[in-house]
Every structure is written in C-alpha cells, then in structure tokens.
Structure 1
Amino acid sequence: MTESSDRNPRTTTRRSILRYGAALSAAAGAGAAGVNLPALAAPGTAPNTTPGAGRPLTSDPFTLGVASGEPDATSVVLWTRLAPRPLAEDGFGGMPRRDVKVHWELATDERFRTVVRRGHTMTGPDAGFAVHVETAPGLQPGWEYFYRFRVGRYISPIGRTRTAPALGTLGPALTMSFASCSQYEHGYFTAYRYLAADEPDLVLHLGDYLYEYPANTYVSPDGNVRDHVGPEMESLAEYRQRHAQYRTDADLQAAHAVAPWLVVWDDHEVDNNWAGDVYEKPWRPQPNFIQRRANAFRAYYENMPLRARNRPGGSAMRLYRAVSWGSLATFHMLDTRQYRDDQACGDGWKVCEDAKDPARTITGDDQEAWLLDNFRSSTSRWDILGQQVFFARRNSATGKNSMDAWDGYRGSQERISEGWVEAGVRNPVVLTGDVHTHWANELKANYADPDSDVIGTELVTTSIASGGNGSDSDPADNPTLERNPHIKFYNRQRGYVRTRISRDAMDVDFRVLDKVTEPGGTASTRASFRIHDRRPGLDPLAH
C-alpha cells in the first residue's frame, strides 16, 4: 500500500472558487446586457435546440446553486436543479412544463481552459427539473475538478469537486467535515459558510437537511428568525418547494459548491420520528403515510447529488452504501429510519425493558448483514460509519435512555460493536447527528464497567441551526458526563465537526458559532481531540 500526494496541484484557493462562481452567476444573469459568456458546447451548437423546446428561458434558472457527490476514484455525480422561481407552489420552480436541454462541463481549472468532459442531458417536469450527471469512468484518481452548467444564455455558478484516491493507495490526508440538523426557521446557516471556508475535501451530511413543519409550528427557544413557506410537507409539490427554499440559502450553496458530499437522511426529511412504516405519534392519523414517504423520497433524490442506483422505487429507496476514499477510509453510510422497528415504550426517554429485546433492530436485517460483511472484508485504515442517532450508551440520572437512539435497540447496538471487534476492524469511528449538541464518546465493550476496553470512538455533531443559538457549557460541570465516564465532551452551541484523517491519526475539531439568530456569527474551535491509529479513544489536544 502506498501513500501518494496530490497529482494536480490546486490551481486556485477554494475561497476564490466561491467568489468567481458568484461573479459568473451574476454575469450569467446579465447575459442580455451584452456580457460575453464562455461557450459550454462545441462551436456552432446553438443553445436550446431541443425539438419542441419552445421559447428560451427569460430568467436565471440556477437559483439553487450546484453540488457534487458520491466520488469514487474515476467518477463523480454533478447536480443542479432549474428553478427561476424556486418558491412556486406547484414545485416546478417556475419552469415551463416541457423538457429542457442542459449543457455541462468539467475542467481541471476554474477558468475552464482545460475541459476534460462536456456533454448535455435532458430534464423536465418528471424529474422536478433536477439534473444528475454521472461522469463516465475515466477521471484521474485523487484529482481536483471544476464544473458548471448552462441552459440557453444562463450559466451556473462554478463548483469544485474531487475524485477519491485509487484503491490500494492511502493518498494524502483527507479533510472531511460533517454536519446535521439545519432548521431554516431557527437561525441562519452561517456554519455552512465557515465549513466552506475551511476548504474540506469531502462533506458528510447526516440528516435533518430540512424540516417538514409549517411556519411557527416548531419554535426555537430564541424565537424563529425566518419562516417556512407552505404547509407541512406531504405532497410531492410541497417537498419540492421546501427543498428549493433551503437551497436558496447562499451559505448552504457555498458548502455544496466547495466539495463533494455524501448524504443520508434522518426523520425530518419525511416526518418527525418516523420509523419504517410508522408515522409520528401521537399526532393526527396519517392514512396516506406510505404515499407521503414516497413523495419525500422522490424529492430527496431529486435534490441530492446521488447516483442513479439510489433512485427510489415508490416508498422504498436504497440509501445505505459504502464509499471508499482510496485505502485510507471507507464511509459506511447507514439508514437508521427506513428499516427500524418502531421506537420502544412509546418513544422518548424511558426505563424500558423492551429496548433490550435482541430481536429489535434499528438497521433491519439486510442492512446489518451488509455492514457486518463490510467489516469482515475491510482493508481500510479507517472504517467510518456515517449515521443519524446517538450510538454510545447514555444513561440519565434516573436510569432512562433515549428510545430514538441505539440505546432503544440494544441488540443492534451490541451486534454492530461486537461485529467490528470480531472482524478486527483497524479503526472504527461512528459519526452522528440528530441531537443538536456536540459530544465526543469512547465506545466500550461493557458500559457497566468503566474499566472495560475502549473498542471504538463516536463523534457527534451539533446542529447547523436547529434549536437557536444554544449556549456554551463547561464539560467539567455536566452531570451527564459524571454518570457516563465514557463521554468525554459536550457542548450546546451550534456548529459542525471538522476532521483531518491521515494514515496515523484522525484529528477532530468541534467548531461552534457564537450566534445563529443574526447574520454574521463568528466561528471558533471549542475542543479538539486526536484518535490514534490502532488506539480507539480520544486524546485531548490544545486548540
């Protein structure tokens, strides 16, 4: 196994990508005023020459930005969605009800002097005017690329993406950031802007990308600072409209444009606390919940840079998958909603014997078997689980546990932990969202015995905005940490987690914002840790 360096030195900083992309987008919008726009098709190819295309568009359709995702060593997914009026109630974003030809380009430099791929694809009403381009295999491993789209005279902002290193090579250190829980009403997405400014190579989003509620139904302790449009999402049009509203946020667009993403959902992409075929309780009955779930899945696929193999079939969507970053890391992206048994004992925090039933599952049998097989066949330096809900044991003062976490599914919790130990996984790390607070946990062979072996590490990210500003906290004074000595850090502010993964260690920064209820919050690092190769657990670092 070899360790290589970047084969194509970066041609620009990613901060300049964001500036240039914004400027190009503005120029595209001014195209009618005589701005000279770069060609995105071979000379002599007229824009919008699709049979029956009708009139050219008269306003910029790229209001939702661009994104990329699912990188492997030779290909990547490029994404955009056309929406000149993104908040249109019909969910079509102001697009005419006809198919549209979209041109795209991929280059090794941000000014597109060296274009390595170009082509066109069609989108239309059936796809919600979303565009998914899976580049054909043949890109260089571990390579930085830039991409853009064009419809007629309108050109999208520029995005930056990257292929993974080739299998069998460790590649350079990977900068990976992960985030969760961005309730639009509760605050500004300033954390996404700081995440973008960190210049990551890869971003993971672990769920609650958007929230389903109508305006002022879910109110932050600090009050809501923005309003959702539309009713509670149930129809396809409503899910499409809400996704579009979130995508209009400039800070979210910046985070998508700077690096490829890997995404998984949690509950709010569909319905709060849904579990398999069971809708949220004790709210009103939902006789059409399965159709609602199908609508949510379809809109989620349309709005995320996922591969065609992830396309939903009605109310089913295969979202769990493994993505390799050379031989440095494998990201096992899990779905802990679609296949789980309903939460035990009526949900919430409970002392619940049913939670200990080994037959209960949070992953479903097929996904669990797939994950355990991955552990047994792994040759990666780091095996990283990207998933949604709290994995470590977390006991309250009265002995209660969260039924919406792995504690509510003790059989799954134990089988997965024991599975990576039995397989000899070199460095197991669990990444988690959901709880709107930062945590750093050492995973134990036996949580009842504080002296038992540490068998893995869990990093939990706080929310981007959900819950409002939150507050700083002194971990030394936290009773949860006293009751759970395997939990090493806790903080209630908003933010994200930044990591640097190398052959010898994973360095972790818990990033926090001083405020999200006003624009212009300031980010800082609240705590830092190192996870050493072959030594699970957390070493505090100065920051």
Structure 2
Amino acid sequence: LGRDPFTLGVAAGDPDPQGAVLWTRLAPDPLNGGGMPARAVPVRWYVAEDPGMRRLVQRGVAAAVPELAHSVHVEVNGLRPGRDYYYRFACDGDEESAVGHFRTAPLPDTQLQQLRLALCTCQAWNSGYYPVLRDIARSDVDLVLHAGDYLYEYSPLQNARGRTLDAERFSGETVSLERYRDQYALYKLDPDLQAAHAAHAFAVIWDDHEVQNDYSGIHPEKPGVSTEEFIVRRAAAYRAFYEHLPMRSTPAGNGGLRVHRRLRYGDLAQLSLLDCRQFRPANPCGVGESARCEAALDPRMSMLGVGQEAWFAQSMVAAQGLRWNVVVQQLLMAQLQLDAGTPRERFWNDAWDGYPLARNRLLQALQTGGTGNAIVLGGDWHSTFVNDLKLDFNAASSPVVATEFIAPAISSGGDDTPYGPYYGPSIPQNPHIRYFDGDRRGWWKLQLNRQTVDAELRFADSVLRADAEVRTAARFQVVHGRPGAVPV
C-alpha cells in the first residue's frame, strides 16, 4: 500500500467467554477519505497468549472491503474464558499494526469475585485532549463502557488543540457518509484514544452526537430538514459508527443498526446496554427545557421503543440470580427538577425526564432482575451525578430501586464551567441526587465485588493539556441488597 495502513489503531469489543470482536480500518491517508484502492484487501489477523505475539493460538484472513471503508471486524471464537489475549493485524508484506489486548469473560456459571469497569462518555475532539483516556489506558480494568458521544458532528476547524485542518473537508456540520468517515478518522488518530482501545476491550453505545445533537428516532433536532433527508443522514452516521468500532451487529438494509445487547460476567453481573435514540418518537414536550406537558404522560410514549422494551423485560428475567444487574444507557435517568415549586419549574426533555412513564416502566422491569442489586450507568450531561432511582422522585417514602452513576465528559466542554452554576442551585430541590459536580472532566472506575460496588471518581486537572494529571476526587460504595450509594 506504500504507507502505514494502520494509522487508526486497533480495538477489541464485546468480549464473551470464547472471544471478542477485533477491529481495525486500513487508512494510509486517514483524513482524505482513507487513501485506499477501490478493491478488497486481505488482512491477516493473529491472536496470542503473550504481548510479544510468540504463543499464537489463532490466526486468519479477513477482507477489508471499500463498501465498509476498508474496516475489518473479526469475531474470534474458541478461546479460553477469563484469560488475557493479545492480537495484531498485518497486510501487504511487512506492514503490521500495533498489538492490542483484551480479556475474555468467564463462563456463566463461574463464581466470579470481582469485575473492574471503566465508565466514560462525551469526547469532543475540538474541546481538548484526552488525558482521561490516557488514565483509563494505564488502569487495570476488564472492560471499558463508553456511554456515547464518541463522535461529535460539529466542524472541528476551530479547536482547542491548535490543529489546522483541511477547511474544504471539515467545514460545516457532518452530514455525508464521506464526512462521517473523515470525522471518525480525526478522532481515532488521537494517541490516547488509540492507547485505551489497545489496552482494553470496549463496549460502546451511541448517544445523539454520533448523528446530530438531540435527534429522536427519525426526527432531526430542528425543522427545515425532511424526514427522508434525515433518514439518509442517520443511515450514513450509523454505518460510519459500525465501520469505526468493534461491533458484532452489522448495518441493516433499512439503515438501522442494533446497539442494544447483553454481556455477562459469570454469576457476578449482567450488563444490559440500551439504545435511547434510534426507536424513540419526537420528544413529546419539544426540544430543550419546558414544564411537563400532558403529552409526556401519554403511556404510548417510549424511550426504547416497543421491541426494545420487550427485550429489556426478557433481559431482566435473565438477570435473576446474579449478584449485580447493570444497565448501561446514554442519559440521565434520575429526575432533575429545575426551579421546583416556582413558575419557572421545568425539565430537560431530551433525557428520561421527557419520557417519565417510560422511565417508570423500565424501573419496574428492573426490579424483576432482583432486589437491591441494580446499577444504572449513563453519560451525556458533561456533569457527574450519583443518584437514587425511585418510582416517585417527589415522595420521600418511595423506596430506592437502583443506584445511578453518571459519568463526566472525557473532554466535551473543555475547561469551561457552565453547568455547575446553572444546575447547582436546583440540586437541593432533588434530594435523590446524592452527589453532583457540574464541570470537571473525568471517568468512573467501578469494581463489582460479591458484596459491594466500589466506585472511584477520577478527574483530570485540565483537558487543554495532553499531559494533565488525573486524580481521585471521590469514592462511593453500594452494598448488595441496600440500593443507594454512600460516600467512603
């Protein structure tokens, strides 16, 4: 190919007891469409038991085809459960990728003692660097959960990194498949993002910015674009999402992509990953903030869609008997009532507050999976929350049914501080919110044990420097059988 084709690194995803999905994309000219010939290219892949790639256990050849931007998704099977493995790709003679690492899940009947997870979200490239991802890469975790906004659709020409980009290719909002591919390539070139992917397996879901800010289903954020035009844009965005991440499912003929799925780690935990974007109707109370309107109380309103709600109910039955029932989704699930009791009382309609009856159905189904063992994880807000989840947030006597951890942004928002001053005054009016930090960037390090979930919150000193320190800011613990996190 003449130049290094592995400029975008490698990744592994969705591990199970027998293997994982291995990903790369051939792109010798990554910011100019990839620079690949319009033909399929064979890519060799190797899996070994050691980082030096000497004790090979599997190998094969996959085709990188132009229809999928010369991306490769290898579903490796036949490995041993609960083991560390290393992998690499090669093509065209001596061209080799970096070596990546993943850890297979244990067998379902394994009495697992602990599971270490990273939870992160919201990595706008133009807002700053990724010291948070560098910190994740250096940590010993079994799996990285990325709760969405992996990509932002906005033009990166003006950015906090001082980087000059091709104005012709990167001006305006991302709409076409070609541009989504270039935008992903820009993000994937970041060395700390590459390091995190090489170090650990990821399980990624999307939020809105992978397509467009605050879109709902087939409805764009703002009027002026036809449904037909937006469906074409959404299909391009979904296709590019698949092309750049280690996903098992493939794009459907109608432009959809299945993102909701389950992962299991022995008898310790089930992880149910949800899709809060693809199947929802337009926000019943409109875009942005508003008082709660009558349409939000229509029982037909669904955040997940009828099919995914039914799948979630089945997932909760599957979680019975496990120590921890973990739900990974994109949004703030707890109620956040702003200026409660005043004429300005309002809610943010894009989150679960815009679909309150759908939230109650989910929380009711969640209780099928066990009592006192539910953990909900999310992102989106560029702020950190620790919440008690209840069927009635306005009743002090309503029991806590789950604990929610919302991850801060990786980089989105830079070092600006708009959310703390804006939301902070309303936090005391929401006593189920046990912790709030509005504007620091970071991640959650979660350790699931037999009796506790130990949560460590880590914040970066800044995202305007690639080498900024990342430090522990707080610790919380959830005891099995007693929902609600307490500071430790």
* Aligned partner of residue 19 in structure 2, secondary structure: coil
TM-score, structure 2 normalization: 0.93
Whole-Å Cα distance in 2 between the matches of residues 472 and 528 of structure 1? Answer: 24
Q: CA deviation at 1:273?
A: 1.0
2:191 matched residue in structure 1: 250
SS in 1 for 2:327: strand
1:392 is aligned, of 331, 334, 357, to 334
Q: Which residue of 2 aligns with 1:483?
A: 429
Q: Which residue of 2 aligns with 1:43?
A: none
2:147/2:330 contact within 8 Å kept: yes
Residues 474 and 526 of structure 1: CA distance in aligned 2, closer, same or farther (over 3 Å): farther
Q: Which amino acid aligns with 2:27?
A: A
**2:367 equivalent to 1:421:** yes
Task: Indicate the residue corresponding to 2:35 in structure 1.
Answer: 94
Q: Which residue of 2 aligns with 1:12?
A: none
Identity of aligned residues (%): 40
The Cα offsets for residues 215-274 of structure 1, whole Å up to 9 and x where unpaired, read as: 358x8xxx6755675242221111111111100000000110111111110111111111
Alpha-carbon distance between aligned partners in 2 of 1:165 and 1:133, rounded to the nearest angstrom: 20
SS in 2 for 1:97: coil
| Structure 1 residues 463 and 82: CA distance shift in structure 2, 3 A | same
**Is residue 2:9 matched to residue 1:65?**
yes
8 Å contact from structure 2 (residues 180, 236) kept in 1: yes
For residue 532 of structure 1, the aligned residue among 473, 479, 484 is: 479
Q: Distance in 2 between matches of 1:99 and 1:315?
A: 22
User: For 1:185, what is the secondary structure of its paired residue?
Assistant: helix
Q: More deviation in 350-359 or 452-461?
A: 350-359
Task: Give the SS at the match of 2:235.
Answer: helix
Alpha-carbon distance in structure 2 between the residues aligned to 1:422 and 1:64: 42
1:227-376 maps to which residues of 2 (within 5 A)? 230-231=170-171, 232-282=173-223, 287-307=228-248, 309-353=249-293, 354-376=295-317
Moved more, 223-232 or 251-260: 223-232
Q: CA deviation at 1:425?
A: 4.7
Does 2:102 correspond to 1:161?
A: yes
User: How many angstroms does 1:213 deviate by?
Assistant: 1.3
Inter-CA distance 227–446: structure 2 relative to 1 (3 Å threshold): farther
Aligned residues: 475
TM-score, normalised relative to structure 1 = 0.84
Instruction: Please identify, of 278-287 and 293-302, the stretch whose mean Cα deviation from structure 2 is larger.
Output: 278-287
Alpha-carbon distance in structure 2 between the residues aligned to 1:104 and 1:149: 4
Q: Please say if residues 297 and 312 of structure 1, whose CA atoms lie closer than 8 Å, have aligned partners that are also in contact.
A: no
- Displacement of 1:518 in angstroms is 2.3
d(CA) in 1 for partners of 2:121, 2:59: 33
Q: 2:84 aligns with which of 144, 165, 168?
A: 144
Alignment of 1:125 onto 2:60 = no
Of stretches 314-323 and 283-292 in structure 1, the one that deviates more from structure 2 is 283-292
Aligned pair in 2 of structure 1 residues 441, 501: CA closer, same or farther (>3 Å)? same
The more displaced of 361-370 and 515-524 is 515-524
Aligned to 1:516: 463
The question of whether the paired residues in 2 share the 8 Å contact of 1:165 and 1:326 is answered with yes
Write out per-residue CA displacement over residues 182-233 of structure 1, whole angstroms, 9 at most, x where no aligned residue. 110011011100111112110011111011112358x8xxx67556752422
8 Å Cα contact 1:393/1:447 also seen in 2: yes
* Aligned equivalent of 1:494, options 420, 441, 455: 441
Q: 2:14 corresponds to which letter in structure 1?
A: E
Note the alpha carbon deviations across 1:127-163, whole angstroms, 9 max, x for none.
2110111112x21110100000111211110101011
Q: 1:374: how far off?
A: 1.3
5+ long unaligned stretches in structure 2: none
Contact 2:127 2:412 in 1 (8 A): yes
The one-letter code sitting in structure 2 at the alignment partner of 1:385 is: V
SS in 1 for 2:128: coil
Q: Give the strand-richer structure, 1 or 2.
A: 2
Is 1:188 equivalent to 2:132 in the alignment? no
Residues 305 and 422 of structure 1, relative CA distance in 2, 3 Å threshold: closer
**CA positional deviation for 1:446:** 1.9
Out of 25, 30, 33, the residue aligned to residue 81 of structure 1 is 25
Deviation larger for 253-262 or 120-129: 120-129
The one of 383, 403, 411 aligned to 2:325: 383
Question: What SS is found at the alignment partner of 1:246?
Answer: helix
Give the Cα–Cα distance (whole angstroms) in 1 for the partners of residues 285 and 419 of structure 2: 31
Cα 1:123–1:216, aligned 2, differ >3 Å: closer, same or farther? closer
Residue 423 and residue 140 in structure 1: after superposition, are their counterparts in 2 closer, same or farther (change >3 A)?
A: closer
Q: CA deviation at 1:473?
A: 9.9
Alignment of 1:402-441 (within 5 A): 402-441=348-387
State the SS of the aligned residue for 2:206: coil
**Which amino acid letter does the alignment assign opposite residue 161 of structure 1?**
F
* Alignment RMSD: 2.0
Structure 1 residues 211, 472: CA separation in 2 closer, same or farther (over 3 Å shift)?
closer
Q: 1:398-446 CA distances to partner (integer Å, 9 max, x unpaired)?
A: 3211100111001111011112224535511111110001110011232
Q: Note the residue ranges of structure 1 that are not aligned, 5 or more in a row.
A: 1-56
Provide the C-alpha distance between the structure 1 equivalents of 2:44 and 2:133, rounded to a whole number of angstroms.
28
Give the 3-state SS of the residue equivalent to 2:16 in structure 1: coil
SS at match of 1:71: strand
In the other structure, the counterpart of 1:52 is none
Aligned counterpart for 1:446 among listed residues 367, 378, 392:
392
